[in-house]
Amino acid sequence: MAYRDLRDFLKILEEEEELLTVQEQLNPRFELSAAMKVINDTRAVKFDNIIGYPGKAAVCNVLGTRHRIARLMGVPEETLTQSFIDRKSQLINPLVVKEAPVKEVIIRENIDLPSLIPVLTYHEKDVSPYFTSAIIIARDPETGMQNMGLHRIQVKGGNRLGSLLANPPIATFWQRAESVGQGLEVAIAIGVDPAIILGAMTKATAEGPDKFAAAGGIKGEAIELTPAETSNLLVPARAEIILEGRIIPGLREQEGPFGESTGNYFQYENPVIEIHTITHRREFIYHNIQVWGTEPDVILTLGVSTENISSLKRMVPSLKDINFSPGTCMFNAVASVQGATTAEVRKLMNLILSMDQRIKNIIVVDDDVNIFDMREVEWALATRFQADRDLLLLTGLKGYVIDPSVGADGFTAKIGMDATKKGEDLDKFEKITMPEESISRAREALKASGGI
Ligand SMILES: Cc1cc2nc3c(=O)[nH]c(=O)nc-3n(C[C@H](O)[C@H](O)[C@H](O)COP(=O)(O)O)c2cc1C
C-alpha cells in the first residue's frame, strides 16, 4: 500500500503491528519520554491521552528501525543502504498543490505554542520543552533558492523559539541574511511525511540539492508542497502543523540546558525565532523524535554512512558497509570488509576517521560479523583484536562541538581497531553456526507456539 503522509504511514504500521497505542494518561513533561525509555524497543508508539491536551495525540519512534525505512521505500531491508544511496540522488522535484490539509485551521493571533501543542520535555534538567522533529524551511537571501533541514528547537513560551543552526543549508541562509542586517523568514513543519525526515538527513549546501527533491527520490514519489500563508516559502501540504515566523537579526539568547544526542546536557547562545502564524490539521498528531533514542541512531546512520560510502568503496573496494553504535551520537563506528589485507584495513580506518568530525572510534570487522548487532561486533573485538598489533591512534584532529570530552583547544584523539581475522591459521576464527534449515524450522515452531 502506498502512503501519502504521516497519518497514512501510521495506518500501515498499525496494520503490520509495528505501532503501539497507549490509552493511559501521561504527562508530556518527562512521562512520554520516560515511557519511550521504559519500552526501550523498536516499536513506534502513539500516545492518545496526553494530560492537558484532550483530543491531541503524539507519536514517537516512527523511523526507529531499518525495517520500517525499507518498508517506506518499498525495498528489501538487506539492500537498504544501497537503495538509499541510489534513491537520494535520483531527485524527484516536489509538486506544488492547492489541496493542503495542513491549512484546515489557521491561527494569526494570541499565539501560545506550549498550550496548543503537547511538546515533550525529555530529560530532568532540560530548561523547557523542545521540538525534535521540526523541519526548518527558508530561502537563500542571495539566490532565492529554498531548502530545509532538521533542527531541534527550544519552545521558550508564547510565540518564541530558539534553535541551534549549526548545519547547512539553513545555517548558511541565516548567516547570509544576518550579515546584511536582515531577519530570515522561516516555516517550521512538524508531523511531516517520514520521507521528508530522511531527505533532511542528506547533505546539501546553500547551492543545493533541494532536500525535498531528495525526499521525493527516497520515497519514489514527489513530495506535495503548498504556498505558505505569509511568505514566499513552499511548505509540506500534508504536514500536521506549520509554524510561520522570522529569525530576529542581531539577537542571541541563552538556549538550554538541553539533554543532547550525546547523552549530556548542553547550553548555547542561539538565535531567536518569533512565530506569527500557525496552520494545522484539525486534530493534529504531534511527531517527536526521542532524544538519545533509537530513531536518531537509525536515521543519522543511514544519512551519514551513505554520504561517503561510495567514494570510500572506490578507494577501498573491500569495504562492505558501515554502521554506528547505538547511543554514541555517531562517535563510534563499525565497518565490515570482505577479504581486506591489513594495509587496506589501516587505509580504511584512516579515511573513515578523517571523513566526519563526529567519528572518533572505528572498529573494522570481517563480513561474517553482523555490524547491525553490537553483540557480534563486541565478539569480534574480543576474539580477533590485539591492541599492541591492531590499534591505530590519531591525535590532534578537530573534535565535534557537542563532545564533552573534547578539550578547550577543540582537538580530539581518534582510534581505529582492526578486529578482522589475521595470521597463518584463519580456520581457528571460524564462527560457530547452525544449519539454516534448522533455524527456519525452529522459527516456524516458535511462531506457531506464539513464542515470537
Ligand atoms: C534528531 C536530530 C536533531 C538534529 N538537530 C540539529 C540541530 O539542532 N541543529 C543542526 O544544525 N543540525 C541538527 N541535526 C543535523 C542535521 O539534520 C544535519 O543537517 C543532517 O544530519 C545532515 O548531516 P550533516 O550534519 O553531516 O550535514 C539534527 C539531526 C537529528 C537526526
pLDDT of 321-357, one tens digit each?
Answer: 999 999 999 999 999 999 999 999 999 999 999 988 8
**Helix or strand run (H / E) with residue 440:** helix 436-448
Homologous superfamily, domain 80-286 = Electron Transport, Fmn-binding Protein; Chain A (2.30.110.10)
pLDDT digits (tens, 9 = 90+) for 370-399: 999 999 999 999 999 999 999 999 999 999
Closest atom of ligand 1 relative to the 153 alpha carbon: 8
Residue 206 has pLDDT above 60, yes or no: yes
Closest atom of ligand 1 relative to the 170 alpha carbon: 11
Top mutation candidate among 63, 135, 152, 255 for ligand 1, by most atoms within 8 Å of CB: 152
Top mutation candidate among 167, 196, 258, 324 for ligand 1, by most atoms within 8 Å of CB: 167
C-alpha 420 to ligand 1 mean position (Å): 32
50: which DSSP letter? Answer: B
Residue 17 has pLDDT above 70, yes or no: yes
Euclidean distance between CA atoms 271 and 382, whole angstroms: 47
Q: Which protein residues are within 6 Å of ligand 1, measured from CB?
A: 132, 149-152, 164-167, 171, 200-201, 203, 289, 296, 299-300, 303-304
Q: Is the dihedral of CA 109, 112, 115, 118 positive or negative?
A: positive
* CA quadruple 321, 326, 327, 329: dihedral, nearest 10: 10
Give residue limits of the domains in the chain: 80-286, 316-424
C-alpha 258 to ligand 1 mean position (Å): 15
Residue 92: predicted pLDDT: 98
pLDDT digits (tens, 9 = 90+) for 136-157: 999 999 999 999 999 999 999 9
Q: Determine which residue's CA is closest to atom 6 belonging to ligand 1.
A: 151
pLDDT digits (tens, 9 = 90+) for 23-41: 999 999 999 999 999 987 7
**Percent of the chain scored above 90 by pLDDT?**
93
104: which DSSP letter? Answer: S
C-alpha 448 to ligand 1 mean position (Å): 43
**Helix or strand run (H / E) with residue 249:** strand 241-259
Predicted TM-score (pTM) of this structure? 0.93
Cell of residue 101, nine digits? 490539509
Residues facing residue 252 across a β-bridge: 271
Residue 305: predicted pLDDT: 85
Q: What is the CA radius of gyration of the chain?
A: 23
Identify the residue with better confidence: 166 or 442.
442
Euclidean distance between CA atoms 145 and 212, whole angstroms: 12
Top mutation candidate among 150, 329, 357 for ligand 1, by most atoms within 8 Å of CB: 150
Distances (CA, A) of 180 to 19, 146, 174, 177, 249: 48, 19, 10, 6, 9
Residue 1 has pLDDT above 70, yes or no: no
Q: Once rounded to an integer, what is the mean pLDDT over residues 413-421?
A: 98
Return mean pLDDT, the chain: 95
Q: Once rounded to an integer, what is the mean pLDDT over residues 67-91?
A: 95
Query: Which phi and psi (to 5°) does residue 44 adopt?
Result: -75, 150
Euclidean distance between CA atoms 358 and 398, whole angstroms: 9
Q: From the options 3.30.559.10, 3.40.1670.10, 3.20.20.80, 3.65.10.10, give the CATH code of 316-424.
A: 3.40.1670.10
Residue with cell 523547557: 128
In this structure, of 126-130, 162-166, 220-224, the range with the lowest mean pLDDT score is 162-166
Q: How many residues does the chain have?
A: 452
Q: Once rounded to an integer, what is the mean pLDDT over residues 296-318?
A: 90
Euclidean distance between CA atoms 242 and 315, whole angstroms: 43
* CA quadruple 203, 262, 131, 245: dihedral, nearest 10: -50
C-alpha 431 to ligand 1 mean position (Å): 38
Top mutation candidate among 122, 135, 151, 297 for ligand 1, by most atoms within 8 Å of CB: 151
Residue with cell 561510495: 310
Q: Determine which residue's CA is closest to atom 21 belonging to ligand 1.
A: 201
Q: Can you list the pairs that 147-150 forms with residues at least 24 positions away whose Cβ atoms lie under 8 Å?
A: 147/173, 147/204, 147/206, 147/208, 147/210, 147/211, 147/212, 148/189, 148/196, 148/199, 148/200, 148/211, 148/212, 149/200, 149/204, 149/211, 150/197, 150/200, 150/201
How many other C-beta atoms can be found within 10 angstroms of the C-beta atom of residue 181? 8
Euclidean distance between CA atoms 202 and 168, whole angstroms: 11
Residue 356: predicted pLDDT: 86
Closest atom of ligand 1 relative to the 289 alpha carbon: 1
Q: Determine which residue's CA is closest to atom 1 belonging to ligand 1.
A: 296
Residue 452: predicted pLDDT: 73
